[in-house]
Structure 1
Amino acid sequence: MSPGKHKTRLARFLQCLLLSLVLSFPSHSLVADAFSDRRAYVGLKLFRTLLAADLDAPGKSGNTIYFVYATDQALAEQHAKQYADNAPKAEDISLETIPLERLISQKTQAGGVFVSQKLNGLELDTLVNYAKRQHVITFSPYEGDVEAGVLGGLAVEATIKPYINVNTLSLSAVNIKSFYLKVAKLYE
């Protein structure tokens, strides 16, 4: 075999090897992670506006905003930091990351709950029931969570807008400014 043909075969082999490596790499997870990160970042901004739209907030006893997770504390800490970096400083509001089971067992009322990690069905049901009993605003940036009972989220359509579960809003006895409800997409 001539040296030129050997180089051509080697080049084709390396191209095939590189192509197989690229195709086997889970790029879909990178895209999904980037999309989830973007939804969470935008969700943090909408969560802040939802908390500000709570007409009963001044009379509520809870002054801690919780970033809830099942297993990924680092992600919850990242969301709490992003929230703090972009929110006006308020001396009477504190931010805390907390596992779901500890949040549910607390006796004190939360000022609001941001779902930092995609929860499974049972975990989400537990959180929704807690929020309804405690009259707490919950917000999840994850697709399908508003339909599953979380009070607020985001609707990604032609534009991004708040997404509100009307049934949960009613059962939670949370009183939201009418302007916020007019601009939100309502799930009934």
Structure 2
Amino acid sequence: MRERLWLWLSRLWRRPGIRISAFGGAALLVALIAPLLDQTLPSSLAERFSRDAVLPILNILASSMLAVTTFSLGIMVQAFRSAAGQATPRVYRLLMQDMTTLNVMSVFVGAFLFSLASIVMFRAGFYGDSAAVIVFAMTMVCILLIVVAILRWIAHLSQLGSLHHTLTLVERSATQPLERLAKTPNLGARPASDAP
């Protein structure tokens, strides 16, 4: 029962909509937590990192992440169509669950939602002076994640949709069930050695 639940959860986590929504929700949650930590920071940091230092970075981040996400979605759909034309429909479903693609898209969408939510919170007056320091720190973490995701995406795009990449995905997904079957011969039952 526990294995079946774990299998169901892992399949759910591999769905593009669920994974991207989870990253986006986490980004929105991080943007909403900043005002709660407002009172814990010293005033010297609040003077150095004001909202005027953070807002231009957030504006650049929001506009660039929207363009990068749209561009990446177009490339992803084109690669999936090309792979679907070369192989079977099952391979298309495997490509839709490619973890590198899902992680990169999740980081892009999460960064866009974080920057957009932070801009809205600044403009609405929810963030005080100290909250700008927290948003600045989170923005630096977000930029680091984006750089890593872009480097992974560039390396991944060179093989996405190719026949070699598709066959590697099929081999990887078939290896685990076959190994599990080899560890439990006869599916855990006793072999019928005395059968006529």
Q: Which has the higher contact order (CA 8 A, sep 6+)?
A: 2
TM-score (norm 1): 0.30
Q: Which has the higher strand share?
A: 1
Q: Which has the higher helix share?
A: 2
